[in-house]
Structures are given as C-alpha cells and as structure tokens.
Amino acid sequence: MGFADQRFNVNLSILFTELPLLERPAAAAAAGFTAVELWWPWIDSPTPERSALDALRRAIEDAGVRLTGLNFYAGRLPGPDRGALSLPGEESDRFRANIDVAADFAHSLGCTALNALYGNRVEGVDPAEQDALALENLVLAARAADRIGAVLLIEALNAPESPRYPLVSAPAAVDVVDQVNEATGLGNAKFLMDLYHLSMNGEDLPEVIERYAAKTGHVQIADNPGRGAPGTGSLPLEELLGLLAKAGYDGWVGLEYKPGDRPSAESFDWLPREARAAR
C-alpha cells in the first residue's frame, strides 16, 4: 500500500491561502484534486451572512470538488485559539450559535465530517468546569452531526505548539470520543488522527494506529519537522498510511501541511497527478 492507494483531500485553510477563499476550490481542482476540507472560514463570525455562505457553496460546486470535512467555529485559526466549545461565556455561546449553521452548510454540500476543536485551558477556571461544559457542547454537536448523517471528529493537537490545549495525546482525545458516545448513544463521535500532531507529541505512531484505527473517522498528515509536504521531514508517512489501510481505515486523508515558500500548487510533487483524484 502506498500514497496511490489513499483518498486525499486538500485543506483549503492551510493550502492555497495565497489566494482569496473563493478562488481556492478551483485551484485545488486545477491541481487535480476532487475533494477539499476547511477550517471554519469566518474566524470572527460563527453565524455569517447568508450571502457569504452561498458564495462559498457556489465556489465549491462550480469547481466540481466535494467538501468532505468542515470545522465548527473555533476562534482564530491560524492564531492563538484552539477551539471554543470548552470556554465559559461568550466563546462557548458563539460555538453553540454555530452548530446548526455549520451542520446545515456541510449538509448542503454533502459533507459528512464535522470537526470540533476542544479549546484551550482558561486561567482561573477549574479544568473540571471546562470539561463539563465541553461534554455538554459536544453532545449538542454530535446530535447536529447525526441529524445530517455526519460524524463528529475530536482531535488531539500537540503540546509544543498548543501548550494550553488539554487533548495532546491520542488516548486523551479518544477518551473524550468515548464520553460523547456514551452520553448520546449515537456512536457517531470519532477520533481525528493527525499524524503530524501525534508525532510532535512523541507518540508511537504504529501503536496509535493499531489501537485506534477502528475509532478513527478522519486522518490528516504533514511531515515533521516543519509541518511541510511529505518528504520534507522524516516521518514515514507512506508507510504509516499503509499501516492504517491494513488496520481497516479506508476514509479520507487530509493534506494539512504548509507549502513553504512556493505556491501551493507546486507542493504536490510527491503525489502523482493520477493519484490526486479520489476513486
């Protein structure tokens, strides 16, 4: 098993960012890809104007690509924020206001995976209080995802880059997945396995794959060090994706890497063009 056997999509919130948002789907299509994913594009607005939603929907449809993954509102990404759902007060309220907006937008494009970033620890707030709020909001998100036939993704980040984010290991994220599924009875909460973040945490990636492939709803990749394209660092990404396939994972693999100092379209030379279109 190799790269040619995977189903790749392109994250348009980290790749093609040299272009305006509405031009990125067509750029991904021109590079040979048939599927894309996005962080929540409106960092200051969990409930953007209908015209903004419609414009992005048309751009995706006109490009002929499929939206396969979408983040719920998560604050400033890229930037200091790492989600909103565990933050007491206004940010949690903004997350809740976004739940149905994001789910409906995803549904309108046939997207079946919604990612909910947990959020940073807040100084002076009991972590147990944040965790209780997070579970409450994740239950709401899981129910909204279930309404549109989607999975709810819960992601581990890495401690060096996100020191205040509490889910910085695969076991920590999977524990939250299990709590959400137990609370809802829906079984649609899944682990988002980002191999870059897990490698930054020093985790044994083959062991993580063996233990958690069955609970994984989406995979994202970037090389390490540097968070660049495969081949720019030392992670054996082709081998790791092969292990995932052997463990039964046949879902999407999101390209969530930085293109470096070149245009995004030139950062895919590691992947033959014929392997970019999902089969």
Mean pLDDT by 10 residues, the chain (279 residues): 86 98 98 98 97 98 98 95 97 98 98 98 98 98 98 98 98 98 98 98 98 98 98 98 96 98 97 89
- Token output for 46: 């969990």
- Domain at 3-274, CATH class: alpha beta
Bond from prior residue into 206 cis (ω within 30 degrees of 0): no
- Token output for 187: 């079984």
- 157: closest CA among 215, 74, 235? 74
| Residues marked as catalytic | 155, 256
Neighbours of 93 (CB within 10 A): 13
State residue 1's pLDDT score: 59
DSSP 2-59: -GGGSEEEEETTTSSTTS-GGGHHHHHHHTT--EEEE--S-TT-SS--HHHHHHHHHH
Bond from prior residue into 225 cis (ω within 30 degrees of 0): yes
Residue 58, phi-psi category: left (phi > 0), alpha (psi -120 to 50), beta (remainder)? alpha
Q: How far apart are CA 141 and CA 103, in angstroms?
A: 9
8 Å CB contact between 143 and 72: no
- Output phi, psi for 194, to 5 deg: -95, 110
Where along the chain do its domains lie? Answer: 3-274
State residue 2's pLDDT score: 72
